[in-house]
Amino acid sequence: MEIDDLKGEARKIKAPDVASLDFGERVRTVNGLVDELKRRDASEKRKLRLAMAVYGLFGALIALAAFTGYVDPGIRMGRVLIVLICGLVAAAAAVKYSRLARADYSEPTFAFLKSAEKRYRFIAPWEYAYVVPGLAAAGLAGWLILASSFDMLIRPARALRFNIFYILGFAAFCAFSFVVSRAKWKKEKGALHDGLVRAVKDYGEDL
């Protein structure tokens, strides 16, 4: 074969398309997770901004209702607790928003994956600091409002039965809320969290 023929054959060879290159399953998985996290983080920030606005407005309206005109002392105290709960939820949403805003997509892969996995857990450890007090305050607020509305505070004969039914009802409400919240998280974020857990495990085994 002549040198000119070799040159002609060489010109026919094209550089591979970057999109068609196989960089390995791990690289594809991490890149896919980063793209998905950027999209999810942006969506979560929008939801958190809305939550801050809604709970802030609702708390302000309840506060206005609690201190305008005559209100039974028990009902007023219950409303005050609801205002505090709204403030607690709005503050928690602000903390979550701040954490999302500080997400660094350029940090080392393993550190980035661990941080993302913690963000998308069903309940992060730090969230118990507001979930538990919030539920306790909600239970007390509901009891104060209902007990005052039905004059249970001045009817001791009916108080025991009322308290039993209220405790059972509130416990059932909490259990139902937990199941629904868990199912919603599983549907919307479960697959993403599972992918992050697998990625953290794969990278952790090589360290």
**Which amino acid belongs to residue 43?**
S
- pTM of the predicted structure, to 2 decimals: 0.76
Q: In whole angstroms, what is the distance from residue 41 CA to residue 46 CA?
A: 9
Contacts of 93 (CB under 8 A, 6+ apart): 48, 51, 52, 55
pLDDT of residue 18: 32
In contact, 42 and 34? CB cutoff 8 Å: no
Collapsing DSSP to helix, strand or coil, 60 comes out as helix
pLDDT exceeds cutoff 80 at 33: no
Confidence of residue 24 (pLDDT cuts 50, 70, 90): very low
Confidence of residue 207 (pLDDT cuts 50, 70, 90): low
Comparing 25 with 68, which gets the higher pLDDT?
68
Using CA atoms in the order 63, 68, 69, 75, what is the torsion angle rounded to 10 degrees?
Answer: 0
pLDDT of residue 58: 95
Confidence of residue 84 (pLDDT cuts 50, 70, 90): very high
pLDDT of residue 196: 85
Q: Give tens-digit pLDDT for 92-139.
A: 999 999 988 888 888 888 888 888 888 899 998 889 999 999 999 999
Decide: residue 54, CB within 10 A, 0-12 exposed, 13-18 middle, 19+ buried.
middle
Contacts of 38 (CB under 8 A, 6+ apart): 105
Q: In whole angstroms, what is the distance from residue 44 CA to residue 65 CA?
A: 31
Q: Give tens-digit pLDDT for 8-17.
A: 544 443 433 3
State the distance between the two ends of the chain, measured CA to CA, in whole angstroms: 53
Q: Give tens-digit pLDDT for 144-189.
A: 998 888 776 556 677 788 888 999 999 999 999 999 999 999 998 8
Confidence of residue 206 (pLDDT cuts 50, 70, 90): low
Quick one: what percent of the chain has pLDDT higher than 70? 81
Contacts of 72 (CB under 8 A, 6+ apart): 148, 149
CA 77 to chain centre: 29
Q: What region, left, alpha or beta, does residue 69 occupy, with left being phi > 0 and alpha being psi -120 to 50 degrees?
A: left
